[in-house]
Amino acid sequence: MIAVGIFAMTTSEFAVAGLMPQLAVALGVSVEQIGYLVTVFAVAMTVGGPALTILLLRLPPKRALMVIFGIFLVGNLLAAVSTSYAAMMVARVISGVAAQAFFGIGISLSARTVEESMRGRASGVAMNGLMLGTLLGLPLATFVGGQLGWRAAFWVISVITVLAALLTLAFVRNPDSAGTEEAATLSMRDELAVLRHPQFLLALASSTLIIGATFSAFSFFTPVLTEITGFSTTLVPVLLLAYGAATVVGNMVVARLADRFTISTLLTGTALNAVFLAGFALFTDVPPLALVFMLGIGLVGVTMNPAMVVRAQRAGSTTPLVNTIHTSFITLGVILGSAVGSALIPGFGLRAPIVLGVVLAVLALGTILPALANPSLRGGHKQAAATIAVQQEPVIAATNELSEETNTSRQPARN
């Protein structure tokens, strides 16, 4: 049910990108100014999401999610009735803050209601909402906006939001001892303390760089595919649909691997992403190869989310604020990839953001490698316990041998 809420919020996030021309005409501003509505949504997620999560820490997670649904619904309804650019900007800020808090609390709740060995899979199920939002949400908003007007798109998102809230109310349960004052106090103190943990900070850096690398390419797929690769504008939506399908498949695979092979999954996926990004940059003007590399980016880019979530939870905790902070850094990666990529285009052309993606992916590998030395980060507490047991076997054997020798030496004395 968390996935349905994430789907609604991802659809709202991407909707403006598909409705830019209509919104520009309706609000009397340029397309470039409409682009800032995308940026302000992401900034509101990064900055406002953790703040809202802190305000909701004393509530049980399920009740907190219902409050967030209410705030998010207000943002979308305001967007649907906006008659000015300023009103739309306010609507996007409200929606962005709520979306980030929902991601953090929702993913935290998914992890806290299952066993430790199932957290990656649970996060993967929740993150299917993000993948389906990429696959179906943007085309849905664009189609509805094109047929019934841009306001209708936000009304549809509002209906999906209400449906997600009802499903959450009916089927989602709280973890034990959630929302008590003692738990909230401990949560606040402990969650802020993890910001001093080197492995958690490295996890934040990795997630930012992995998503930044992916969005350096994803943000510019349409102009690259039409202006360099030579695909027609009518074919590009189909190609983006194929990309979205690749993210769904990749997310399912990573979710299966994330619990037992957390760090190796991140290393392999990020290395492959660097290769696919490099191939896409080198062979952008060769349509068949460009398509193969684009789909490869879909398979191993944003699909690293379940493994990134598990790593951050093991380095920090499964509590709401830690997860919201982590998702804020993921959103920071979106801003990094799209903003820096945009700044590079005027001087270096449309390939420049893709090259930037290669650089970010390589940097991400450097922030993942230190986690290999930590067994609990690699595969959870069971693997850590197994590693410790293997390491202790020689010591135990030596102790037993020494004990036997001592007993033997004492035997004559007893006789």
32-83 tens-digit pLDDT: 788 788 888 989 999 999 999 989 988 999 999 999 999 999 999 999 999 9
The angle at the Cα of 237, spanning 233 to 238, to the nearest 5 degrees, equals 110
If you compute the radius of gyration of the chain from its CA atoms, what whole number of angstroms results? 24
User: For the ranges 11-25, 34-48, 168-182, which has the lowest average pLDDT?
Assistant: 168-182
Mean pLDDT of 256-284: 96
Q: Which amino acid makes up residue 275?
A: V
Residue 321 confidence class, pLDDT cut points 50, 70, 90: confident
Residue 190 confidence class, pLDDT cut points 50, 70, 90: low
Residue 395 confidence class, pLDDT cut points 50, 70, 90: very low
pLDDT of residue 387: 39
Percentage of residues of the chain with pLDDT beyond 90: 55
